[in-house]
Amino acid sequence: MSAIKIKDLTKKFGKFTAVDCINLEIKEGELFGLLGPNGAGKSTTLNMLATMMTPTSGSAMVNNMEISNQDSVRRSIGMVFQDPSLDDELTGKENLEFHGRMYHMQKNLRAKRIDEVLELVGLGDKAKFQIKTYSGGMKRRLEIARGLMHHPKILFLDEPTLGLDPQTRRGIWDYIQKLNKDEGLTIILTTHYMEEADYLCDRIAIIDHGKIIALDTPEMMKNEMGGDILKLETREPENLIKILTFDWIKQKNLFEGYLNVTVEDGGASIPNILNIASKAGIKIDSVQMIRPSLEDVFIHYTGRTIREQEADTADQMKKMMNQWGRK
């Protein structure tokens, strides 16, 4: 069963195409990531799926309902926005209470569910405090709790850890993973942090300039890159390069006195290479294994690092925001 089915989805703001004819299917129970630089079209895609924006063209099914079916779709999803969306003057509990009422939850169910979700994100003891006393991480956790209040089938998280310190981010990751693994919730998140997508997601779609340019598991994406790189330190690299002529060595080159060989399975290849070298009487002083990162994957597909990309899209973002402001 698919939780999300997107067909030719497009969103234009004036002349700027934020989302360009995207096709995508996300399975139930998946933890799916939309990865890309700021302004790539991730949030716009998410907002269209959450029925906050109407697509310029194309269609999408969320929990087997067309997104034009606003109210039904909304009832079946939870949304955590990129920017804070809590009422600072209300307490944590009052914010959840408001949410429960807006989703027509009965009083008893509301009270029970508030306790449950607060427990889930570890904020039970803070429920009676006003939001303005919360830290950034606590606000994020409460927003996640709020998104879960009405038992949604899919939870959308727009940049869930943006602006949080590393330790808090780790905590949020744990909650997200717990929700997905223990409760079987389908989670779709956007992020421009490589390590976040890598650590959390079952599958990733890399989005750039409104288009999906790669779609796979993080592992497969990294394998696409040709596997692991072994950085070998030896006094006679020229001799070593001559004897390492096997099918499983995909690439080898000398770089700054080190011999870099690319192999599919780095861990299993290290003892092999050490054996071969010692039989030939070549001493290897050190071995370093480098796994390709998603950053490498991103460079591979776009020819640029994600940071260069962001500087580039900043202008387009500004244009888009102006368009928003004028509406």
Which residues of the chain form contacts with another protein (CB under 8 A)?
47, 50-54, 70-72, 74-75, 79, 81, 83-90, 94, 98-99, 101-104, 146, 324-325, 327
- Contacting residues for 145 by C-beta, under 8 A, at least 6 apart: 96, 117, 118, 120, 121, 123
The nearer residue to another protein, 74 or 169, going by C-beta atoms, is: 74
Q: How far is the CB of 85 from another protein (least distance, A)?
A: 4
Q: How far is the CB of 27 from another protein (least distance, A)?
A: 24
The nearer residue to another protein, 70 or 260, going by C-beta atoms, is: 70
Q: How far is the CB of 309 from another protein (least distance, A)?
A: 24
The nearer residue to another protein, 51 or 234, going by C-beta atoms, is: 51
The nearer residue to another protein, 27 or 132, going by C-beta atoms, is: 132
Residue type, 56: T
Q: In what order do the strands lie in the sheet with 154-158?
A: 77-80, 154-158, 186-191, 31-35, 203-208, 211-216
Q: How far is the CB of 73 from another protein (least distance, A)?
A: 8
State the distance between the two ends of the chain, measured CA to CA, in whole angstroms.
Answer: 38
The nearer residue to another protein, 72 or 239, going by C-beta atoms, is: 72
Q: How far is the CB of 271 from another protein (least distance, A)?
A: 55
Residue type, 242: K
Length of the chain in terms of residues written: 327
Q: How far is the CB of 47 from another protein (least distance, A)?
A: 7
C-alpha gyration radius of the chain = 24
CA atoms of 297 and 302, how far apart (whole Å)? 9
Contact 90, 127 (CB under 8 A): no
Helix residue spans in the chain (DSSP H) = 42-49, 70-75, 92-102, 107-120, 136-148, 166-183, 194-200, 218-224, 237-243, 266-279, 294-302, 306-326
Cross-strand pairs, 27: 2
The nearer residue to another protein, 155 or 277, going by C-beta atoms, is: 155
Q: How far is the CB of 327 from another protein (least distance, A)?
A: 7
Count Cβ atoms below 10 Å from residue 121 Cβ, excluding itself. 23
